[in-house]
Homo-oligomer: A and B are copies of this chain.
Amino acid sequence: MADKIWAHSGDSHFLEPDDLWQQILPAKQAERMPRSEKVGENEEIVHVDGKSFHRKLPKVMTAKGDDGLTIYELSVRPPGTRDPAARLRDLDQEGVWGEVMYSSIGLWSSMIEDPQLVREAAHAQNEWLVSEVQDVAPDRLVPAALMPMLEVDDAVRELEHAAAIGLKIVSIPTGSPPGTDDYNHDSWEPLWAAADDAGMVIGFHIGTDGTDQATAYRGPGGAVLNYVDTTYGGQKAAMKLVTGGALDRHPELKVLISEGGATWVPFIGDRMNEGYRQHGMFVRPQLSRLPKEILFRQVYASFQHDESAPAALWAMGYHNVLWGSDYPHLEGTFGHTQKTLHELFDDVAPEVRQRITRGAFEELFPHVSAPPA
């Protein structure tokens, strides 16, 4: 149709097969990988590497809405959630062309204590991502590589492997794994250097701090408070890479913060500058550019519905605003993508729409083809 708006998505997801490890790992390793067994309404037993432990299920898998479904159940209903061919039909219908795709099982790595097992699983999963996901439509689907993060050397090697097999972005949790330094510390420098060398985008998807972020608040307004709370981890990850000096040392390194919104970037930029200047005598390291300049140039951020996001670009000078569908999740636009895109872009200048729906994404991923005219 003539008025269809095509957009790339800086934030999408897919769901792996339940027997992924059996498919891609030798049997002896596959049986050591985490496996969940639901017991009762709110609890699961996790079996991992010969041990088992009970834990409460995340709230998104237990709290039921008016229709009796959980957020998790509502988030895996679209046809293309698991099936790449069905997915492309969904995307075409919605008007989404290229998309960054995050795995759904990325958090398993923090449950395994054996770095070798994590390393080999990430290696195998990234091979699978190329052959079973990216290769289905290599000019559109941009799956994010999993990283073994227990030891920085492992992360470096797997990043190099991911780049060698053609992946373009690595997914890193917003919270560094237990036992490792925070991302502002120099111990992570080899990883940033490797990403810079490989031209690999660093992707942080919000909600990966490593805690059950749906339970921080209780009582009136809790659902909305918990929803908003998930954004802060992405802001903090970006700030750590700016203030710790990583992005200053690697001026070509690019970071994507997915699903956290975009209007926070000018805010955090100004706030970092204020701290950097007013508390200047306490600031280490000194940077070669102001923190806001580094943030604006090297950090990209995706939003779904935020009506203020285009103005972050045209009125506040932040050019790295990406739209994202969050397909197939409940927080995303599946089923109303065209309505959302028209509300966002019908009244803004064509170059602003172009930059947010296509330009910023294509700068990160120049191998992605152009949407239909």
- B-chain residues with CB within 8 Å of residue A272 when the two chains form the complex: 224, 227-228
Number of interface residues of A (CB under 8 A): 68
Q: CB-defined interface of A274-312 with B at 8 Å, one 1/0 digit per residue? A: 111111111111000001000000000001111111010
**A266 proximal to B (CB < 8 A):** yes
The A237-278 residues at the B interface (CB cut-off 8 A) are 239-240, 242-245, 261, 263-264, 266-278
Q: Does A63 contact B (CB under 8 A)?
A: yes
In the bound complex, how far is the Cα of B308 from the Cα of A68, in angstroms?
43
Q: Say yes or no: A270 contacts B308, CB within 8 Å.
A: yes
Q: Which residues of B contact A179 (CB under 8 A)?
A: none
Contact (Cβ within 8 A) A242 B221: yes
Bound CA–CA A65/B185 (angstroms): 21
Besides A223-B279, A226-B275, A311-B311, 12 other A-B contacts (C-beta < 8 A): A63-B282, A182-B217, A184-B219, A185-B219, A219-B244, A221-B240, A222-B243, A227-B274, A228-B268, A267-B267, A270-B307, A279-B330
How many copies of this chain? 2
Give the contacts of A305-327 with B (CB-CB under 8 A).
Answer: 305-309, 311, 314-316
Q: Mark A188-228, 1 if CB is under 8 A from B, else 0.
A: 00000000000000000000000000000101111111111
B239 touches A224 (CB 8 A): yes
Q: Which residues of B contact A282 (CB under 8 A)?
A: 63, 65, 71, 223
A37 neighbours in B (Cβ, 8 Å): none
Residues of A within 8 A of B (CB): 63, 65-67, 71, 181-182, 184-186, 217, 219-228, 231-232, 236, 239-240, 242-245, 261, 263-264, 266-285, 291, 303-309, 311, 314-316, 330-332
Closest B residue by C-beta to A226: B275
For residue A97, give the distance in angstroms from its CB to the closest CB of chain B.
Answer: 23
In the complex, which residues of chain B have a beta carbon less than 8 angstroms from the beta carbon of A304? 274
Closest 8 CB pairs of A and B: A221-B243, A65-B281, A227-B275, A315-B315, A270-B306, A263-B267, A266-B308, A220-B244
B261 and A263 contacting across the interface, CB-CB below 8 Å: no
Using CB atoms, name the residue of chain B closest to A245: B220
Contact of B279 with A270 in the complex, beta carbons under 8 Å: no
Whether A239 and B225, one on each chain, are in contact in the complex, defined by CB atoms closer than 8 angstroms, is: yes
Q: Which of B181, B220, B281, B307 contacts A284 (CB 8 A)?
A: B220
**What are 9 A-B pairs at a CB distance below 8 A?**
A221-B244, A224-B239, A263-B266, A266-B308, A267-B308, A274-B305, A274-B331, A278-B331, A308-B316
Instruction: Decide: A330 and B275 in contact? CB cutoff 8 A.
Output: no
When chains A and B are docked, how far (Å) is the Cα of A66 from the Cα of B284? 12
Among B71, B223, B274, B285, contact of A306 (Cβ-Cβ < 8 Å): B274
- CB pair B306–A311 under 8 Å, yes or no, is no
Contacts of A221 in B (CB 8 A): 184, 239-240, 242-245, 283-285
Check B271–A228 contact: CB distance below 8 A. yes
A281-B65, A285-B220 as given contacts; A273 in contact with B243, CB under 8 Å: no
CB-based contact B65/A270 at 8 Å:
no
Cα(A242)–Cα(B227), bound, Å: 14
Cα A217 to Cα B279 with chains together (Å): 15
Least CB distance, A310 to chain B, in whole angstroms: 9
With A315-B316, A316-B308 known as contacts, the answer to whether A223 contacts B270 (CB < 8 A) is no
